[in-house]
Amino acid sequence: MRHLLVFRFLLTGCLSLLAISWGHAQTLFVQRSAQGLYGYSPTPGHDGFVIPPRFQKAFPFMRSGYAKVMEAGRWGLIDSKGKFVLPPQYDYIGWADDYYWIDYRRHGNVADGSLQQDSYNQLIGFVQNGLWGLVHIPTGKVVLPAQYDAIRYPQSGLLAIGKRQGKDTLWGLHTLKNKVVLPLQYHFMQSVERGKYWIVGKRQASGKWLFGAIDFKGKVIWDIAFQGLRFEQGFWLVRRQSRWQAYQEQTLTPHFGGRAWDALHIVDAAHAIVQESGRWGVCDAQGRLLLPLQYRAIYAIHDKRYRVAPFPEWQFYDERGEQQAVLCLADIFPVDAQLLAYSLDGRSGFLSPGGKLLTPPQYEYIQPVGDGLCLVRDSSGCYVLNRAFERITPPADSVRTDLPGFFSVYKEGQWALYDANKKQLIPFGAYEDIRPFHFERFAVKQKGQWGIMDRLSRWVVAPRFDSLLAYVPPYWIVQVEQKQGLYSEAAQQWMVEPAADSLLLLSRYACLIKQNHDWQLLRLPQGEPGGKVHEWKQLNQDLYLVRYGGHEGVFNRLGQWIIEPLYERILGLSQDGIFTVYHEGKYGLVSNTGEWLLPLRPFGALGLAQQGLVPVREGSSWGFVSTRGNKRISTRYGDVKPFSEGLAAVQIAGKWGFIDTWETLRIQPRYAEAESFQAGTAIVKYQDKWGVINKEGKTVVPFEYDSIERLPGGWWLVSKANQQGIVDTQGIERLHTDYEQVVLLNEQIVVVKQQGHWGLLRMDGFMLAAPVFDSYKHDTASGLLSFKRELPWQTIDLTD
């Protein structure tokens, strides 16, 4: 009895000392000194160090009472007094599943203790010379020599050991005494239930993974034959053919009615959260749905209470305002007027504008490419579908569309070309790329060089170029050794040798060549130089404005000079097709064919010609001259605007009115601002408010708006106090100024924004879709309007 009391006393004392030591270690915090070294203080932010700052890096103390520190670039282990129990001689101390070890690029100190695994039964892993071993902390004795590529934190007394063989790391199980339980044979190994079971996996020659399970003794529970394997809440979850089933832990018999699901999460033995075709629900032990498959996300509060997230609500309308469908899906976008695409849980499918699901969400993605065609990818590969879901191209590794109606198809190292009618224009061959530039000409790369093929897959030009950049029949812009040139496929010769830095084809009759920072105009096919250019910009489809030597000019796409680059400024091109030219204090007019209508004359200023008359300034007053320079309206106005529809806005004594071409004052000068007439009306400002008048000066839209903009069909977008509305051609406010934004689609319907949300109205004010939507889109190709709103999370109690 006496011996027992002594033993109890000694045991109590040892436990007390251990508790004191552990408690002391728990109250120590990593602190950084002014010199950048780490030590330990009794409180956070405390300047007084219990363990002096002498470490380059330091972890918080573990529950075992030890802390990992780095000194002189090596890791060691200290106790709560700062004494080394394992000297700093290791590349690392810990386990291969420590966060800090895995994220080896992390710099600086580690202040979060959750990033590390503790020691196990006074054992801890170490790294020397890049290999892992196991050491006994109190004695420093090496239990496992450093000969492994990874050692994970032990589970149920077993170590997962990894050793690299070739490009793979193979895993096995050892006891703490280095007895082999399972030899190195798995590419994947993860413990579940604290080491009671191990999920193991092997990567197949095809690159795909298969998984199985063993217990801690190495006994096989599940053969390595499954796409996925998990353990949850006492159930095995097994994935076959992309579907999950649940099995009881002990009997391995099917549960939840034996049903297979796209995804499955166990709540308890009687409830599971399940997914089918991208939608989530809840089922009971027999597989019966307690919550229907209609939610974007579900999580369990407890077995009878769930938080659910509905999918966004989508409403579709045509351009007449008729509702086509109301749908709840993750995302929807039009393919064309007869077909929509949708997505659910990262997968995509097709549906009709009426909301009927035409395909399940079986595609990885859907990308519309025009004319009712879509680029899709599924388990068979990438290919193009038409709106009847017929394959235009065969399944392949990738499909690219560089030109509408043509598809470059890549499969198993070979390329082919198809058109939108399923016709194979270029059969699969040992090509490195195919790019269509024209419906009859295709660039084809072979053995590192590009050539040109026709629709019959015949070589027009054999591969000889580094790159093909553009095509204007019969010329190609090509690249050879980083230089560009112009090649004629008809003449089979260079029109411009590949020596240019850049080259632009204007037409089959002219091109621009850049060399040494300057551009040169070249006329084709003779190759005749047309002049040098420093800068240029395109004015319209036919004309280019250029600058050279501080002067400006204009040439056309045929390479013909309309205006030689001899003048200081080209002020603009009017709607009448006349250029206004300025040079050395003089102004002139040139037609878009190059005819000088008005030679340079010393005007004060000259505007753009409109309807045969040109604004002109003499001194501080404005008037008008003809395009030949004859004075037509005296220069006696404070300002003028070009003629439009027979009237011009003129300023008299600070107010704006309108005159006709005979200088008759048609509308009295009473407006603070005035715009030119369009379609018989002009927007004008009177006493700080905007309105609209007609050519008789009568008010069409009353002067009560802060701003007015023209809309198609003679309608007006008006605003008051930052709120918008619509006024019709008769000046009637068809839509009151109650909206933050208004988008007129046609004379029947309008999209409005109110209090940050979008809605749809008929022009008679009837509400088609209340302004409750977060966003809207108008797809002009399909003519469909889509409105989307996010629906809030809900709580559902199955006992209600």
Burial (Cβ within 10 Å: 0-12, 13-18, ≥19) of residue 677: buried
Closest CA to 55 of 33, 34, 39, 74: 39
pLDDT in tens, 421-466: 999 999 999 999 999 999 999 999 999 999 999 999 999 999 999 9
Question: Which of 99-113, 576-590, 601-615 has the least mean pLDDT?
Answer: 99-113
Length of the chain: 800
pLDDT at 178: 85
pLDDT at 107: 58
Kindly state the tokens that stand for 234.
Answer: 């006492």
Q: What CA–CA distance (Å, rounded) separates 424 from 456? A: 10
Neighbour-count burial for 622-645, b at 16+ CB within 10 Å, e otherwise: bbbbbbebeeebebebeebbbbbe
Q: What CA–CA distance (Å, rounded) separates 129 from 411? A: 45
pLDDT at 111: 64
pLDDT at 10: 35
Burial (Cβ within 10 Å: 0-12, 13-18, ≥19) of residue 525: middle
Is residue 22 very low, low, confident or very high in pLDDT (cuts 50, 70, 90)? very low
Write phi, then psi, for 740 (nearest 5 degrees). -70, -30
SS3 string of 329-344?
CCEEEEEECCEEEEEE
Q: What CA–CA distance (Å, rounded) separates 311 from 291? A: 15
The DSSP secondary-structure symbol of 740 reads S
Q: How many CA atoms lie within 13 A of 78 on its CB side?
A: 25
Question: Which of 98-112, 454-468, 770-784 has the least mean pLDDT?
Answer: 98-112
Q: What is the DSSP string of 431-464?
A: -SEEEEEETTEEEEEETTEEEEE-TTS-EEEEEE
Q: What CA–CA distance (Å, rounded) separates 151 from 284? A: 41
Question: Which of 8-22, 300-314, 577-591 has the least mean pLDDT?
Answer: 8-22
Is residue 260 very low, low, confident or very high in pLDDT (cuts 50, 70, 90)? very high
Kindly state the tokens that stand for 716.
Answer: 């007006």
The average pLDDT across 165-172 equals: 91
pLDDT at 99: 64
- List of residues 6+ apart from 613 with CB closer than 8 A: 624, 625, 626, 627, 632, 633, 642, 643, 648, 661
pLDDT in tens, 592-628: 999 999 999 999 999 999 999 999 999 999 999 999 9
Is residue 105 very low, low, confident or very high in pLDDT (cuts 50, 70, 90)? very low
Kindly state the tokens that stand for 57.
Answer: 């890096």
pLDDT at 102: 57
The average pLDDT across 147-157 equals: 90
pLDDT at 16: 39
> What is the side-by-side order of every strand in the sheet holding 655-660?
639-640, 647-652, 655-660, 665-671
Among all chains, which residue has been given the structure tokens 């004191």? Answer: 20
Would you tell me how many other CB atoms lie within 10 Å of the CB of residue 24? 16
Higher pLDDT, 155 or 131: 131
Neighbour-count burial for 445-457, b at 16+ CB within 10 Å, e otherwise: bbeeebbbbeeee
Q: Is the pLDDT of residue 116 over 80?
A: no
pLDDT in tens, 186-198: 999 999 988 899 9
Q: Is the pLDDT of residue 15 over 70?
A: no
For residue 546, the SS3 value is: strand
- List of residues 6+ apart from 326 with CB closer than 8 A: 313, 314, 315, 316, 355
Which amino acid, residue 273? I
Burial (Cβ within 10 Å: 0-12, 13-18, ≥19) of residue 460: middle
pLDDT at 100: 65
Would you tell me how many other CB atoms lie within 10 Å of the CB of residue 423? 10
Q: What is the DSSP string of 257-300?
A: GG--BSEEEEEETTEEEEEETTEEEEEETTS-EEEEEEEEEEEE
Q: Is the pLDDT of residue 50 over 70?
A: yes
The average pLDDT across 301-325 equals: 92
Q: What CA–CA distance (Å, rounded) separates 274 from 243? A: 11
Is residue 742 very low, low, confident or very high in pLDDT (cuts 50, 70, 90)? very high
Q: Is the pLDDT of residue 171 over 80?
A: yes
pLDDT at 454: 96
Percentage of residues in the chain with pLDDT exceeding 90? 80
The DSSP secondary-structure symbol of 115 reads G
Kindly state the tokens that stand for 504.
Answer: 């632009």
Which amino acid, residue 735? L
Percentage of residues in the chain with pLDDT exceeding 70? 94
Q: Is the pLDDT of residue 367 over 60?
A: yes
Is residue 2 very low, low, confident or very high in pLDDT (cuts 50, 70, 90)? very low
Burial (Cβ within 10 Å: 0-12, 13-18, ≥19) of residue 484: buried
Closest CA to 349 of 337, 373, 327, 331: 331
The average pLDDT across 174-194 equals: 91
Q: What is the C-alpha end-to-end distance of the chain, expressed in Å?
A: 64
Which amino acid, residue 777? K
SS3 string of 385-404?
ECCCCCECCCCECEEECCCC
The answer to whether 273 and 282 are in contact (CB under 8 A) is yes
Write phi, then psi, for 19 (nearest 5 degrees). -65, -40
- List of residues 6+ apart from 81 with CB closer than 8 A: 51
Kindly state the tokens that stand for 407.
Answer: 């598809």
> What is the side-by-side order of every strand in the sheet holding 29-32?
29-32, 38-41, 51-55
Among all chains, which residue has been given the structure tokens 């979008």? Answer: 758
The average pLDDT across 73-94 equals: 95
Kindly state the tokens that stand for 586.
Answer: 């003089």
Q: Is the pLDDT of residue 215 over 50?
A: yes
Kindly state the tokens that stand for 643.
Answer: 């003629």
Is residue 79 very low, low, confident or very high in pLDDT (cuts 50, 70, 90)? very high
Q: What is the mean pLDDT of the chain?
A: 91
The answer to whether 226 and 210 are in contact (CB under 8 A) is yes
For residue 532, the SS3 value is: strand
The average pLDDT across 157-180 equals: 91
Among all chains, which residue has been given the structure tokens 């395909």? Answer: 359
pLDDT in tens, 511-558: 999 998 889 999 999 889 999 999 999 999 999 999 998 999 999 999
Q: What CA–CA distance (Å, rounded) separates 276 from 295? A: 10
* Rounded-to-5 percentages of helix, strand, coil across the chain: 5, 60, 35
The answer to whether 765 and 725 are in contact (CB under 8 A) is no
Q: Is the pLDDT of residue 504 over 90?
A: yes
The average pLDDT across 282-310 equals: 94
The average pLDDT across 724-742 equals: 93
SS3 string of 618-630?
ECCEEEEEECCCC
pLDDT at 492: 94
pLDDT at 581: 98
pLDDT at 12: 40
Closest CA to 202 of 181, 179, 232, 223: 223
pLDDT in tens, 394-424: 999 999 999 999 999 999 999 999 999 999 9
Biggest CA–CA distance in the chain, Å, is: 135
The answer to whether 773 and 787 are in contact (CB under 8 A) is yes
Closest CA to 766 of 112, 409, 320, 416: 320
For residue 351, the SS3 value is: strand
Q: Is the pLDDT of residue 1 over 70?
A: no
Q: What CA–CA distance (Å, rounded) separates 359 from 780? A: 24
Kindly state the tokens that stand for 290.
Answer: 């307690």
The average pLDDT across 656-684 equals: 97
- Torsion over CA: 546, 548, 551, 555 (sign): negative
Is residue 764 very low, low, confident or very high in pLDDT (cuts 50, 70, 90)? confident
